[in-house]
Structure formats: C-alpha cells, structure tokens
Amino acid sequence: MAKNFNNRWLMVSQKVYGWLLRAYPPTHREEYGFAMAQLFRDQCRDAWNESQGWGVAKLWLRVLPDLVKTSIIERLAALNKRKSMSDKITTLIQPRRVFSRVFVVVFLLVLGYSIVVAFLLPETYASTARIKVEQDVDISAKLSAYDPQFLQKTLEIIQSQIVLDPVIEKLNLNAAWGRKYFARQTLKSAETLEILRGRISLWPIPNTKLISITTYSDDKYEAAQIANAIAESYRDYQVKSRAELAAKEVEALPAGQEKQAAQLEAQKPKPMLVQITDRAEPGRAPVRPNKTLNIIVGIVVGIVSASALGAIAVFVSYRINKRKQKLNATA
C-alpha cells in the first residue's frame, strides 16, 4: 500500500538521519538523540502519507539546513563550556547570525540563477521518425555472411553528406537558417551540414531492426520536417544504390541471352530495404529546458552549497574571534 510505513524510502531516510546526528556533540546526542530520531521518524511517516516520495523530499529540504546549523552551534557551545554565561550567549548568537546571513544570500543567488536560466534559455522541440532497415539479401549471399557492422555503417551513412545534402536542398536550409541565425546571410552547404549533424540523434532500438531518427529545433514543425526528410533521403539513397549496383552487374555480363535474363531479373521489383514505420510529428511541448527540474536542482544545490559556505563562514568567524580574544588577553 502507498501509506505503508515500512517503506524503503523511509528506512533509508531514517538511517541517513541517524548517521547525520553524529554531527552533534556526544553529550547532546545522549540527551536528545533518541527524541530527535523519533521525531524525524514521525515526520517521515506523515510526509509519506501526505504525498509519498515528494513529501519525504520536501521534509529533507526543511530538515537538512536546520541540522547543519544547529550541529555547528552545538559544537561551538561544547568548545566553550568554561566561558562565562555572557560569552556563551555571544558564542551562540553570533554563529547563528553568520550562518543565517550567508545561507540566505547564497541560497537566493543559486536559486535565482537557476530560475533565470530555466526561463531565459531558448526552448527546443524534438521530433522522431522511425525506419526499419534490412540488409540486402543478395549482397549477404555473395558475402556468405551477415555483416556484423551493418548497423554501425547504417548510422554513419544516415549522418553522411550523401544523405543529408538532399535534406538541406529539399528544405532550403541554407537560406532558412541563414535568415534565422546569421543575419539573413545564406549559408554554405558545408556550414549547414555541420549544424544539421549537431541536431540529429540516432538510436537503434534493441532487439529490432528499427532506428529512431530524432531531430531538435526551436521550431516544432521544422524538427518534424527534418526528421521525415532524413528518413526519406536515406530510403531513396538505398533504392538508388541498389539500382546502380544491379546495373553494373548487368553491364559486366557477356552479351547474349544471359545478359538479357539478368536485365529482366534486375527489372523485377524487390523488397524495400528501408521502410518508414513512423513519421515524425511536431512535439506538443519543448524538451529543453526542463523548467521544473532546473528549479528543483537549483533548490537542492542552493541548500547544499549555502550550508557548506555557511559552515565555512561560521568556522572563519570563530577563528577570528578566538584570535581577537587572545590579543585582548595579552594586551
């Protein structure tokens, strides 16, 4: 059940929290350790019952900064047990202020940066076309074996100039991308080719003869057009290559009836080596940037970095005060 407290998330959280309690002085753990662990266990149970994994994650976002802050304060207090009451109060208040100020400033800077990046980065759409690729049976028979590198060669051909140049020409990408990205300057085909290769992702689907052709663009319709054009260009390339190979084999035969028979055989329709199984459609939502993920990462990184820098600031402040006290004592 979703609300069962015997959950791996909760067990791991309790173990981690128990380990983190070692940051407190031994006397503090002896007096309050069990109660703190029991309270955290109850909070974990309530958080899980409220919203499961996300609830436990939010609990950690609240608990972790407080644990870092209070453990540092307790450690400093334990080092100053012999001081007067006024010195103890000063020692407790000052680290708390230093930590709080540094934590707030660093956390807000990191979180603000992640929000700005999430909303200012250009949106990118992805579209995927799938093709089914077969090895030429006639060529395989002549080689007496299936080519183990057939798939890798196929991926290289799809990204080659011989397949992508027709795509560039068909979609007029030299002019289109020149207007969009280079102040209306028409690009050279070699320049457009490099940009296009950077926007293609090929992925063979395991245990099948399918290959996914994914393209990325700031225009969802353009992404779909490019993916479909690449699939069609590779299919046309295979048809043309097969026809040229058959014509060369016929020309190599001696004149006579055998040559005529070979010509008739070459003219017979043959099964397609490349089939477009799924055509690309415009994406409904951008795939990059993931705003929610970026903000969550910003929160987590902000808490960790702010806690670390806050602890360093408290330590530096403590060392400076210690040195001032020694100088005052010797004066």
Is 205 part of any domain?
yes
Co-location of 158 and 136 in the same domain: yes
Of the chain, the percentage scoring pLDDT greater than 90 comes to 27
Is 284 part of any domain?
no
Is 283 part of any domain?
no
Co-location of 129 and 239 in the same domain: yes
Q: 249-274: buried (b, 16+ CB within 10 Å) or exposed (e) per residue?
A: ebeeeeeeeeeeebeeeeeeeeeebb
What is the per-residue pLDDT across 320-330, written as a single tens digit (0 to 9) for each? 777 777 776 67
Collect all residues with Cβ–Cβ distance below 8 Å to 64 and sequence separation of at least 6: 303, 307
Co-location of 91 and 182 in the same domain: no
User: Most confidently modeled of 33-47, 66-80, 151-165, 241-255?
Assistant: 151-165
Is 223 part of any domain?
yes
Give me the chain's average pLDDT, please: 80
Collect all residues with Cβ–Cβ distance below 8 Å to 176 and sequence separation of at least 6: none
Residue 202 β-bridge partners:
213
Is 197 part of any domain?
yes
Instruction: Tell me the C-alpha distance between 154 and 230, whole Å.
Output: 13
Co-location of 105 and 227 in the same domain: no
pLDDT exceeds 70 at position 251: no
pLDDT exceeds 50 at position 198: yes
Range of the domain at 26: 1-79
For the chain, how many structural domains are there in total? Answer: 3
Instruction: Tell me the C-alpha distance between 328 and 331, whole Å.
Output: 5
The residue-averaged pLDDT of 145-161 equals 81
Which pLDDT belongs to residue 80? 61
Co-location of 132 and 269 in the same domain: yes
Co-location of 9 and 140 in the same domain: no
Q: Do the Cβ atoms of 89 and 272 come closer than 8 Å?
A: no
Q: Do the Cβ atoms of 193 and 161 come closer than 8 Å?
A: yes
Bigger pLDDT: 66 or 195?
195
Co-location of 62 and 117 in the same domain: no
The residue-averaged pLDDT of 58-76 equals 80
Which pLDDT belongs to residue 129? 96
What is the per-residue pLDDT across 280-308, written as a single tens digit (0 to 9) for each? 999 888 888 777 888 888 888 888 988 88
DSSP character string of 235-301: HHHHHHHHHHHHHHHHHHSPSSHHHHHHHHHHHS----SEEEEE-----SS--B--HHHHHHHHHHH
Secondary structure (3-state) at 135: coil
The residue-averaged pLDDT of 95-115 equals 82
The residue-averaged pLDDT of 205-226 equals 93
What is the per-residue pLDDT across 36-58, written as a single tens digit (0 to 9) for each? 888 888 888 888 888 777 777 78
The residue-averaged pLDDT of 139-162 equals 73
Co-location of 113 and 141 in the same domain: no
pLDDT exceeds 60 at position 85: no
Q: What are phi and psi of 272, to 5 degrees?
A: -70, 135
pLDDT exceeds 60 at position 264: no
Co-location of 160 and 190 in the same domain: yes
pLDDT band for 256, please (50, 70, 90 cuts): low
pLDDT band for 138, please (50, 70, 90 cuts): low
Co-location of 173 and 238 in the same domain: yes
